[in-house]
């Protein structure tokens, strides 16, 4: 299976890391094609950057999704996730949705873990958008770290452990979802040093793709995730314009 990894963060190292963790998690028979955003923010963290990401994600999908068997959306706010589900007819998963979904099958209340306060409301709104508020113990955050500190596990790991243990008391979290590609791969290192299950969204996402592939579900032709009606859009990248024009015939074909 060929999986398109769309990373709207304009940072190649994030794409690389996600692709590597995804490939390790997927095992043989999988090819991951990573595409990094060409416009937008290096590390997305605000409403405006999320909005830019949604369009970038569409642009990348219009250019690269043809011939792929699924899409792994590698942005922790799942920006553009349901948009992709609307315009594509292959399975699409987001790393935070997948992570939370997995966490709900091993706990009654999960917490999301992030760096910095700025994004906390955005994650809360994401949880509300998914309708999962009753299952979310809260969004916990560590003070922001420099890129250098983030890469030094001797610094990061102890901070994470303390925060996670604390969350079992303060908000009674029963599982932790690590948000963001920066955390990809770190769950394994934490595994035996904290008292809760720690979910890696990339690993969860890859497996959710496998699940959707196994279920072999049809593209809906009714509801908000059916193809949009065919339309003549203007001022957009060529592939995107073409895609919107073609929706009508795609629906007919079904």
Binders of a second copy among residues 138 to 177 (CB under 8 A) are: 168, 172-175
Which region, judged by CB under 8 A, interacts with a second copy, from 12-20, 67-75, 154-162, 205-213? 205-213
For a second copy, the closer of residues 160 and 196 by Cβ is 196
C-beta neighbour count of 92 within 10 angstroms: 30
Q: Is the dihedral of CA 32, 9, 72, 55 positive or negative?
A: negative
Choose, by CB under 8 A, the member of 64, 150, 157, 220 that binds a second copy: 220
Q: Which of 122, 126, 178, 184 binds a second copy (CB under 8 A)?
A: 122
- Member of 49, 70, 72, 77 binding a second copy (CB under 8 A): 49
Which pairs with CB-CB distance under 8 Å and at least 24 residues apart come from 35-38?
35/4, 35/5, 35/6, 35/7, 35/60, 35/63, 35/64, 36/7, 36/9, 36/10, 36/11, 36/12, 37/7, 37/8, 37/9, 37/10, 38/10
Among positions 15, 55, 138, 182, the unique one binding a second copy when judged by CB under 8 A: 55
Residue 131: both structure tokens together: 């309708």
* One of 97, 113, 178, 182 touching a second copy (CB under 8 A): 97
Task: Check the CA dihedral 182-186-187-192 and report its sign.
Answer: negative
Scanning 15-23, 36-44, 69-77, 145-153 for contacts with a second copy by CB under 8 A, the matching segment is: 36-44
* Residue 199 found at the interface with a second copy (CB under 8 A): yes
Q: In the bound complex, what is the minimum distance in angstroms from residue 26's beta carbon to a second copy?
A: 9
User: Does 15 participate in binding a second copy (rule CB under 8 A)?
Assistant: no
* Dmax (CA) of the chain: 57
């Amino acid at each position: 299976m060929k999986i398109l990894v769309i990373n709207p963060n304009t940072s190649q190292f994030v794409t690389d890391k996600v692709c590597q963790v995804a490939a390790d998690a997927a095992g043989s028979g999988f090819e991951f094609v990573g595409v990094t955003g060409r416009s937008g923010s290096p590390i997305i963290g605000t409403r405006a950057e999320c909005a830019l990401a949604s369009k970038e994600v569409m642009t990348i999908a219009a250019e690269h999704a043809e011939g792929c068997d699924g899409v792994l959306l590698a942005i922790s706010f799942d920006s553009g996730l349901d948009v992709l589900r609307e315009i594509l007819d292959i399975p699409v998963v987001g790393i935070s949705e997948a992570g939370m979904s997995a966490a709900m099958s091993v706990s009654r209340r999960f917490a999301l873990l992030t760096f910095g306060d700025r994004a906390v409301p955005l994650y809360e709104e994401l949880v509300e958008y998914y309708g999962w508020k009753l299952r979310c113990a809260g969004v916990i955050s560590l003070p922001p770290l420099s890129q250098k500190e983030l890469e030094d596990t001797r610094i990061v790991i102890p901070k994470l452990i303390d925060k996670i243990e604390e969350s079992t008391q303060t908000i009674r979290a029963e599982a932790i979802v690590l948000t963001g590609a920066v955390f990809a791969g770190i769950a394994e290192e934490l595994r035996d040093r904290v008292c809760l299950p720690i979910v890696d969204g990339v690993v969860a996402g890859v497996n959710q793709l496998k699940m959707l592939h196994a279920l072999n579900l049809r593209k809906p032709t009714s509801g908000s995730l059916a193809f949009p009606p065919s339309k003549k859009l203007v001022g957009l990248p060529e592939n995107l314009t073409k895609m919107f024009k073609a929706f009508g015939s795609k629906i007919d074909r079904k």
